[in-house]
Structure 1
């Protein structure tokens, strides 16, 4: 295991207009809340060193580890549809990159590390609650098998941050394939800086889509790759009931990872119109709108790449449109195939998408809990006696009773042992998700009482989301009222 970070930084070798060099701002009294020992091992880091005085100083921003080259990266973005030509890392500092034991290159970033030239009068700090939310939800997403940034550590700063009221401060150490966003491309496109666009695109190809370098048109292949990755990612969000909450273009990673866990949440009662973010008053980023918004964001990326796709503008537009036309097939294959697996079907056949869609419609009409319904179906697939647990989740149980015979008839065509079918379903239908009311209770305990035991307990359960864990059944319970009226806040 490595003491300190074995940095191998590539982004800082790009032109200096890509970032601003800025060291983290030290904090008063750093105290370790959590270090992700498993992730540390994957990165080749010594978790005991990270938890020691030198490691905590590095994680808090009080000490610059050898080989770090701290920068705040520049980007722009559409925020709720409105273009802002300069955003950038206003409260985050990229320390550098490490190549893990698996050969993958990852960014090491301190979030809440103090003001930068992109802070726009902000304090550059993070409150404890949002740091714990991002740590917990990003690690839950990783355990669910969804591409995501990760949390290496959380450190309390010993300093308050001023929001509506004073709150305890914290720093999150975030690990990502990269922090390059659609908004990064938009930053240079808005300035007509084709040279920078080309340098950025070449960097992304080399780092994330190396196969594109061999294509006849590497930039078209890059666009195709990002589109396919995002289509698959959003489909996977929907399949576990995840609502990102703020799908601005500056919050879409070109690496195909989930990034920026601000006002995110998970569905309780199923309703595609669900909005949790307090600032999303028009429902732009509702659960069911996420596939459409992803395509909208990808269209903005395609616009930035037009100068690279072809010298002739008409040809460039045609290439972009052809690439974007591939989004729907990618998304539908991933989403409908995933839904079929959730109800126990293997090969997707004609009528399967309609069968699954009919279940979702009945769930929405009957306020059925998304996660509990699909998990209960696993038992129902194994033995008809399991129907009772499913139908009890519907306001009108006959809505399930009408659907179940058609489902069982389709299952019979699979010619698979019911126990095998149920096991396959349990592998894709989690028993545990970060329930919103439990996340809020965990945050309240930490913020109000400095009690981190609920955080640790919830984190441990969510590390095994597909296991039954009967002794932890309380973490699978839905909130009273189906979570209606729950709101999340950005925390910046």
Structure 2
């Protein structure tokens, strides 16, 4: 594969050249065939011998210009300038057949100048979790980094206990974070900050250069993409867990997976990170933290924008997020997404969505199963049979009344669109997953992999990458967790 080194050559002053450090008895155990084809990478290039040669030999094409990036970040609200790629290296950028460029980033590459006395390693547990999460979110239409391949090893790595070391190559448009801009602003390095902006305009926001206010256009793009991403998190019950500004992408993509979780029961205040003692990054706090992080990023734009300009852009965040969230929720409930001129109908739709979410919250119902059951049983509402849905809830009378209201509203909406209940159901089944990434199943997959059995991981990936299909042979992955397996919280080492 041919690599480009735009970041390494154009921003050499704000990065450090570092070679990957090999791990003991490494071998490739998982390859993302779909992604490698999309990027134009031959499957033979991801075979163990070829990949290890490219990564670790002196003539290896993947290590000749590998770098660790320098940045800072607000971690749990506190500014920390001592951050950077502590266990990952940017190998370079690859040009896909489509003409777009993608970072190749090696996680678990060993110590860097930014490791802060840590070993720079990743463990099998965390790399599998990241691999699963990237593919699961991508399949749901949520922007995310993705894993190209995963290498296991016999390298012992100390975390809370001794674990197996692992590496992975992940990819996304760019690994530039809010924290990059914050660091060079707060450390009073205006020339480096300007160089970072110029690089970003050239490679990631070229359309902004057509404007008389390019920095404003770039900031607007970051605000909008962040709002859209978080709206999708909220609509699909995803809790990131560590929304530090060094974990926030300028492209509005999900990356730096740690103790994440998809909700089991719908508990809005759920905290997936057991290190988050104050609940700063709880599920229902994600929209406000997104805005907090954008405010932190805005400081780096102050040399180029007036305060009032920054405020005007930030004010678009909430509207963008709410509009996208409402669109997604209407889609998930099979309600008309297009503009409706009748204010009474608009109000009824909002009330119906609100009541559905209140039912899930009050009953602590399984977030994902509830939407899927509604999709699968939709035609029973058409025939005025509400029992098949209501019997899945404790307060059946409340749900039955919701179904009555839904039937009446849907009939009105269908008359506007010349659509049918069957067509609505088909659409709902394409947006309400039957299979969701659950922490208890991820733990099961990891336990098998630690015994060198990756077949369970491959099986789980099969349903996560096509989560709306039936997969009768793998139906057990669709079952909600038992009570003791619900709401698993993990540490930042995850």
Q: State TM-score, norm by structure 2.
A: 0.94
Corresponding residue for residue 322 of structure 1: 312
Tell me if the contact between 1:60 and 1:155 (Cα under 8 Å) persists in the aligned partners. Answer: no
* Alignment partner, residue 343 of structure 2: none
Asked if 1 retains the 8 angstrom alpha-carbon contact of 2:242 and 2:259, the reply is: yes
Any residues of structure 2 matched to 1:47-126 within 5 Å, and which? Answer: 47-58=43-54, 64-65=60-61, 68-126=64-122
Q: State the Cα distance separating 1:122 from its structure 2 match.
A: 0.3
Alpha-carbon separation, structure 1, partners of 2:188 and 2:245 = 18
Give the structure 2 partner of residue 170 of structure 1: 166
Q: Give yes or no for contact 1:234–1:290 (8 Å, CA) kept in 2.
A: yes
Name the SS for the 1:40 alignment partner.
helix
Question: Which residue of structure 2 lines up, in the alignment, with residue 262 of structure 1?
Answer: 258
On the 8 A contact 2:20/2:63 being kept in 1, the answer is no
Aligned residues: 481
The gaps in structure 2 that reach 5 residues or longer are 341-345
Give the secondary-structure state (helix, strand or coil) at the position aligned to 1:108.
Answer: strand
Q: 1:151 to 1:331 in 2, by over 3 A?
A: same
On the 8 A contact 1:89/1:118 being kept in 2, the answer is: yes
Is the 2:54–2:63 contact (alpha carbons within 8 Å) kept by the matching residues of 1?
no
| Cα distance in 1 between the residues matched to 2:150 and 2:57 | 12
Query: 282-291 or 50-59: which moved more?
Result: 50-59
**1:21-32 alignment, distance < 5 Å:** 21-32=17-28
Contact 2:434–2:468 under 8 Å retained in 1: yes
Report how far residue 485 of structure 1 moved. 4.7
Distance 1:137 1:388, change over 3 A: farther
* 8 A contact 1:60–1:171 mirrored in 2: no
CA RMSD of aligned residues (A): 1.8
Cα offset, 1:388, TM superposition? 4.1
Deviation at 1:102, TM superposition (A): 1.4
Deviation at 1:125, TM superposition (A): 0.2
Q: Counterpart of 1:383?
A: 380
Please, which of 435, 442, 452 is the counterpart of residue 445 of structure 2?
A: 442
Matches within 5 A, 1:307-386: 307-309=303-305, 316-346=306-336, 347=338, 349=340, 350-351=346-347, 352-384=349-381
Q: Which residue of 2 aligns with 1:406?
A: 405
**Contact 1:382–1:419, Cα closer than 8 Å, also in 2:** yes
TM-score (norm 1): 0.94
Return the alpha-carbon distance in structure 2 between the equivalents of residues 359 and 89 of structure 1: 43
Matches within 5 A, 1:269-284: 269-284=265-280
Cα separation, 1, equivalents of 2:388 and 2:58: 53
* Counterpart position of 1:135: 131
- Measured in 1, the distance between the counterparts of 2:188 and 2:32 equals 42
Q: Report matched runs for 1:190-205 at 5 Å.
A: 190-205=186-201
Structure 2 vs 1, CA of residues 72 and 387 (structure 1 numbering), >3 Å: closer, same or farther? farther
Give yes or no for the alignment of 1:458 onto 2:460: yes
Cα 1:149/1:389, change in 2 over 3 Å: farther
On the 8 A contact 2:265/2:364 being kept in 1, the answer is yes
Deviation at 1:145, TM superposition (A): 1.5
Post-superposition Cα deviations, 1:350-395, rounded to whole Å, max 9, x if no partner, equal 2223321211111010011111111111123233377445334323
* Aligned partners of 2:126 and 2:493 also within 8 Å: yes
* Residues 1:144 and 2:140 are matched in the alignment: yes
Secondary structure of 2:493's counterpart equals coil
**Contact 2:208/2:214 (8 A) holds in 1:** yes
